[in-house]
Every structure is written in structure tokens, then in C-alpha cells.
């Protein structure tokens, strides 16, 4: 009797038939959700920890794998105590966010070789960097170094002849365009030596093989074209093809919401990456042409 009543109830229930595109979109979203949850967070953190230029930020904005991760990362690095408390990071130290999300090294974070890889660890490293000067004059030399110096000694002795130092805290063109900075920094000679606790950045200088800049611009252009294509398709499908569900016209608010939402998401992700990348000071050491063969 119970089964007959249950069958009668099921027979009178209303049903709905989904279109082919609805099934496709629902299945696609269901299949991609575990993938994004599994890989999105770590990919986002790793990419943000290696961003140094405006092109890097733009690429992240065009294809953000983890939107919430990017937002949380920006709050961890640049947020106020109330914002950090809102995301459950009120008691987190600055070195934790720096080690995980920034490219910098400091008195609290350093990079060391570990089993063929590079590990970011807490503390101050004890690193000995030795340079040899092949132009050392053994006959007329006043010292007994034989052309062998520590890094700090060589910079203090010959740094202004061989290297130029350019210090940058933010992209100058971007900051001047928005009126945030009107002073342009020019390359200056290295006069004082680096501090004794100087921690070199191994991942940016050795660990990452830098491809040609054209690859970055090509990837950025591809991402921009894909995003623009999505917006154009939304406009064409809404206003020209007039695609809708069950042969009904599309809603008037659909296309404007898609366009505004996409622009806001991309712009927000760009600024999150920008805040994280520009929260640290970048020192670029440029080797002078005349000093190419003076030291190895």
C-alpha cells in the first residue's frame, strides 16, 4: 500500500526538461569545481609569490585561478588588523605572509638550497659569497687578497665602478599616471655595501629560468583577447541572436551584469596582485658595460 501511494505521488509531481546547453553548462561547472578547489589555491599563491612586473599582474587578472585566494592573500599582506581578523589571520605574523606570498627576503625570511630545490625558511642565513677579480694586479697590489673578496668587500671596494643599483618600490609609470608619485628614480651607483645580514634571493635569480619578454606579452594579449571575446559573445548572444531559455527573450539585465562583473573581477584581481607585488622594495643591480670582465 505504501509503495502504491509513493508511486502515485511521483506520477503527479511536475517535471522540467532542461535544454542541451543547460545540461552542458551544469556538467562543466560540476566537473571544474573539484579541479579549481584542488589546484586553484596553490597555483595562485605560487604565482603571486613570483610576480614582479605589471605584465605579471595583468596575466593574473586575465586568468585568476583562485579569486578568493587572491583576495585573502592581499589582505594578509596589506590588510588592516580588522580585515585580517575577518579572514581568521588576526594573530599571523608578517613573516608568515612574506614567506608564503612575497618574493622578498629579509631579516626574518631567507632562501636556502634544499635537496636540489630552493626553500623559503624563517631566520637569518649564514651565506658566504666569494668573488674573484681577474684584473687584480699582483705586482703593484697594496693588499694581500690575491683578487679574492667577499661579496660585501668587493662591493665596498669596486661596486661603484662595476655595478649600478636601481631601487624600485612601485611601477613608476603606473604610479605617475594615477598621480600617486611624481618623482622618478634613476639608477644610482652602489656606494654603501650591502648589510652583513644580506639575504640573496635565489628563486628569482637562479631558480626561475626567465623566458623572453615576448612570451609574457603574448600570454597577456591572449588572455585579454579571450576575456574580450567572452564579453563580445555575451553581447551578440543577448542583443543579436537573442538566445534565451524556453524560446523566451533574454533578460535585459543579463548582458550588463556579465560585462560589469567580468570587468570588476579582472580589475580587482589586478589590484590584489599589484598590492602584493609592490609591498616590497625591489633592488635591481645592473652591471656596467665597462665592468663586464672585471670580476667573476
List pLDDT tens digits, range 229-263. Answer: 999 998 888 888 777 776 777 788 888 998 999 99
SS (H, E, C) 65-85: CCHHHHHHHHHHHHCCHHHHH
| Grid coordinates of 49 | 609569490
More confident residue, 97 or 206: 97
Q: Does pLDDT of 17 surpass 60?
A: no
Per residue in 98-136, pLDDT (tens digit) is 888 888 888 888 888 777 788 888 887 777 778 888 877
pLDDT, residue 280, reads: 80
> Quick check: 169 and 146 in contact, CB under 8 A?
no
Residue with more model confidence, 153 or 183:
153
pLDDT > 70: percent of the chain: 68
Reply yes or no on whether the pLDDT at 220 is more than 90: yes
Of 32-36, 168-172, 208-212, where does mean pLDDT reach its minimum? 168-172
33 pLDDT band, cuts 50/70/90, is low
- 49-80 residue pLDDT tens: 888 889 999 999 998 778 888 999 999 998 88
Pairing mode, strands 130-132 and 117-122: unpaired
Per-domain boundaries in the chain = 47-291
Q: How confident is the model at residue 188 (pLDDT cuts 50, 70, 90)?
A: very low
8 CB-near residues (< 8 Å, 6+ apart):
none
Amino acid at each position: 500500500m505504501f509503495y502504491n501511494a509513493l508511486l502515485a505521488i511521483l506520477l503527479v509531481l511536475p517535471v522540467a526538461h532542461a535544454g542541451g546547453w543547460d545540461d552542458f553548462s551544469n556538467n562543466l561547472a560540476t566537473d571544474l569545481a573539484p579541479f579549481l578547489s584542488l589546484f586553484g589555491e596553490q597555483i595562485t599563491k605560487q604565482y603571486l609569490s613570483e610576480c614582479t612586473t605589471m605584465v605579471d599582474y595583468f596575466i593574473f587578472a586575465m586568468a585568476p585561478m583562485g579569486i578568493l585566494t587572491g583576495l585573502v592573500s592581499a589582505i594578509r599582506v596589506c590588510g588592516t588588523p580588522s580585515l585580517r581578523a575577518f579572514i581568521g589571520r588576526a594573530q599571523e605574523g608578517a613573516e608568515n605572509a612574506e614567506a608564503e606570498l612575497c618574493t622578498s627576503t629579509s631579516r626574518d625570511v631567507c632562501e636556502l638550497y634544499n635537496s636540489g630545490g630552493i626553500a623559503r625558511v624563517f631566520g637569518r642565513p649564514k651565506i658566504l659569497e666569494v668573488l674573484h677579480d681577474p684584473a687584480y694586479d699582483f705586482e703593484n697590489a697594496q693588499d694581500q687578497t690575491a683578487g679574492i673578496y667577499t661579496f660585501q668587500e668587493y662591493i665596498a671596494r669596486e661596486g661603484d665602478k662595476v655595478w649600478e643599483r636601481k631601487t624600485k618600490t612601485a611601477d613608476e609609470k603606473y604610479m605617475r599616471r594615477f598621480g600617486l608619485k611624481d618623482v622618478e628614480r634613476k639608477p644610482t651607483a652602489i656606494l654603501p655595501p650591502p648589510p652583513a645580514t644580506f639575504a640573496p634571493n635565489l628563486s628569482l635569480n637562479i631558480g626561475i629560468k626567465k623566458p623572453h619578454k615576448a612570451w609574457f606579452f603574448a600570454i597577456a594579449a591572449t588572455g585579454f583577447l579571450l576575456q574580450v571575446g567572452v564579453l563580445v559573445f555575451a553581447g551578440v548572444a543577448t542583443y543579436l541572436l537573442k538566445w534565451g531559455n524556453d524560446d523566451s527573450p533574454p533578460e535585459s539585465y543579463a548582458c550588463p551584469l556579465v560585462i560589469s562583473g567580468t570587468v570588476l573581477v579582472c580589475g580587482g584581481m589586478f589590484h590584489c596582485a599589484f598590492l602584493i607585488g609592490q609591498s616590497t622594495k625591489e633592488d635591481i643591480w645592473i652591471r656596467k658595460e665597462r665592468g663586464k670582465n672585471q670580476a667573476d
